[in-house]
Structure 1
C-alpha cells in the first residue's frame, strides 16, 4: 500500500508541476497582431505623368480623362520616395510624354544624376521626337520604346495611330537610337486589325533589342465602351488563339516578349498624373492614395501589383546602357534579392 501511495503522490506532484509550468509560460496570443506580408519593392515603375495624347488609338487603355500633370517638385518628391524604397528603373509614359519635352528632360536628369537609377526609359508614339532633343539628353536615356502596331499605314490609320507617316518616323527614330547609343525598343498591341500581319522583315531591319507584343486589353472604366469612357475597344478584341498565332508567326525573332492579358494586366506598377498607383485587378483602374499623402508601402498595398507576373513577363532584363549595372541577362530575376 505504501508503494501505491507513493506512486499516487508522485503522479499528483508531476501533474501540478506541469500545470504550473504552463501557467508561467509567456502569453503567445496577441489579439492585435497582424500577419505581415513580404514587403514589396517597386523595382520598376511606369510613370504616366500625362494622359494627353496627339494620337487617337482606338484601343487605348490610358485615356485622356484629365489634362493635368504634376508639378516638377511633386514629381521629384514622389520619385525620390520610390527610389528610397528600392526603385531601380523608371519608364516615362502617357499619353504622349514628348508633348512636354522640357518637363520630361528635367525629370530624366533628376532620375539619372541625383537618384542614380539604373535605367531611365520612355515609351512614345514617335510623332514628336526630334534628333536634337535625343542628342542633348542621350546620356540620361537608356531605352527609347516606340509603339508601332502595323507596317501598313492604312492599318495604322484605322487604328488611330497617325495619318500616314508613322512607319517613316519609326525607321528614322530607330536609326537615331543606333547612332546615339540609345537602346531601341518596339511595342506592338496585337488586335483585330493586325493579328494576321507578318512583321518579320521589318523587325529584322529595325533590330530592336526588345520587342514587346501585347494582347489588346479591355479595362471597363478606360476603353470598355460604357458610360463615361472615352474609348470602346471591343471591336479590337482578339482571342487567345489569335494572339498566339501572331506570336508563333514571329517566333524566330529573338527580341520578342509576349504579353497576353493574364500576364500583362496586373504586372505593371502604373503611377498616374496625381502620383497614385492604378489597380487593374478588377478590369478597371482604381487609384491608390497619392504618394504625396502616404508612404510607398501603403500605396503599394493598394496597387494590386502581381510580383510573380512581373517576373514571369521578364520584367527584369538588361535595361541599362552601362555595362556594369548588375543586369546582365534577358531574364536575370534570380540574381536579385529585391
Structure 2
C-alpha cells in the first residue's frame, strides 16, 4: 500500500488521538511514530482497536454508574415527597393549637385555680390542662421532626439529582470522545488492503468459522432460556458491529449478549465486565451452549458459547457478528446465567 506524507499524518493523528483518550480513562499511552510500511500501519490499527475495545467497556461501566445515580435521585425524591406529605398531616393540629391560643380557650393554671368550685374540680381542670399541654408539646415536637426530615430528604434528593446530572454530562463527553475515535479507527481501517484488514480482524477477534444450524447448537443448552439465547444470537450473524448498540440492527459485544438473553426473558446489563460477574462460573471443560464467555483483563469482551469450541459474538469495530473459536487470545472465563 502506498503512503504519502498526508496519509502518514492521518495515521499518526488517529493513533495518537486514541492513545491520548486512553490516557484520560485508562493508562498513559506512549507516542507512536508514523508508520513507514503497510504492515506497521496495520499494527497501529490493531493496537488502536484493542484500546478502543477497552475504552468501550469503560464507557458502559460509566453508563451503569449513571443509571444507579439516577435511580438514587428518584428514590431520594420519593422519600422527600413522603416526608412532606407526613408534615402536611399535622396542619389541622397546628391550626387548632394556634386557634386555641388566639381565642383563649386553653385555660392557664391560675385561671383554673381561681375558677374552680371545689378541690375535685380543681384537680380535674389541672389534669386536663396537663393533658392539653402534653398533647400540644407532642404535636409541636412531631412537627419539628417532620420539618427537619422533609428538609433533609429534599436536600438529599436535590444532591442526588445534581450528581446524576453531572455524571450524565461526563458520560456524554466520554461517549463523544469514543465516537470520534471510532470514526478515526474505521477510516484508518478502510485504508488498509483487504489482506491487511483480514489480518487485523483475525488478530482482534479470531478467524471466522462455519456456523452450525441454530437448532443443533441450541440442543446442547442446559435449559430453554439458554437455547433461546443461542438461537437469537445466531440469528444476528452478519449484523454490523455498532459501538454502544444492543440491537436490533447492530451490536457491540455486550449488546449482543444482552439482546440474546432478553429474548429469553433474562435481563443483563450492557457491560462485559458486569456480565462476567453474573450467574455461576464454569470452567473451560464445563462449557455448554448459552454460557457467556469473557475475555481480557480487565474484562472488555464477551460472546455466547455455541458448542464445539465455538462462540458467536459481535467481534470488533468494522466487522459483523460472526462465529469464531472460543480459544482466541485473551480468554479469561465463562459464566452460566440460565
Q: TM-score, normalised by structure 2?
A: 0.26
- Of Structure 1 and Structure 2, which has the larger fraction of its residues in helix? 2
Which is higher, the Rg of structure 1 or of structure 2? 2
Q: TM-score, normalised by structure 1?
A: 0.26
